């Protein structure tokens, strides 16, 4: 978007171009779940209508609970920030300023270290979403 933030148009484009194509085959006609926080841009009537038509069931987290219920918040983002910081510290030890090109090169390394299948699954378990844990 022009301001760099998510908006309703980008959200529905995400559903159409990213989420649905990447989950359609593995779902094999079954319903898919999509967990998101309660921000107003994440779901509106056109996006909800489109999602339901394409067998996507959106689950909105209650307000102010992302830190404990959002699976990636409780498993991946802390590791992501830590690994990124370690890489930056290692690469800038000699006082050399990092460039935008360095950022683009470093970020995927941090992402790959943090967003592993193991970490993602652990996030759903820690948040109590799957398997369901009401406590």
**Is the Cα dihedral 108, 111, 113, 116 positive or negative?**
negative
Q: Convert the pLDDT of each residue in 18-73 to its tens digit.
A: 999 999 999 999 999 999 888 888 878 999 999 999 999 999 999 888 889 999 99
Please list, in sequence order, all residues whose beta carbon lies within 8 angstroms of the beta carbon of residue 22, skipping any fewer than 6 positions away.
Answer: none
Comparing CA positions, the residue from 7, 66, 78, 64 lying closest to residue 36 is 66
Question: Domain residue spans in the chain?
Answer: 1-60, 64-129
Residue 106 has pLDDT above 90, yes or no: yes
Residue 120 pLDDT = 96
Residue 63 has a pLDDT of 87
Is residue 119 within 8 Å of residue 75, measured between CB atoms?
A: yes
- On average, the pLDDT of the chain sits at 92
Checking 21-25 for CB contacts under 8 A at 24+ apart, the result is 23/56
For residue 83, the model assigns a pLDDT of 96
How high is the pLDDT of residue 54? 97
Confidence of residue 101 (pLDDT cuts 50, 70, 90): very high
């Amino acid at each position: 978007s022009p301001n760099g933030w998510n908006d309703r148009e980008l959200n529905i484009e995400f559903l159409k171009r990213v989420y649905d194509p990447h989950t359609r085959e593995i779902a094999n006609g079954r319903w898919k779940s999509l967990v998101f926080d309660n921000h107003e841009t994440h779901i509106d009537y056109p996006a909800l209508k489109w999602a339901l038509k394409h067998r996507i069931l959106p689950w909105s987290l209650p307000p102010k609970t992302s830190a404990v219920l959002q699976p990636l918040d409780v498993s991946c983002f802390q590791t992501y920030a830590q690994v990124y910081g370690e890489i930056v510290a290692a690469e800038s030890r000699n006082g050399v300023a990092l460039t935008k090109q360095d950022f683009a090169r470093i970020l995927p390394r941090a992402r790959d270290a943090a967003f592993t299948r193991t970490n993602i699954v652990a996030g759903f378990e820690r948040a109590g979403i799957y398997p369901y844990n009401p406590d």
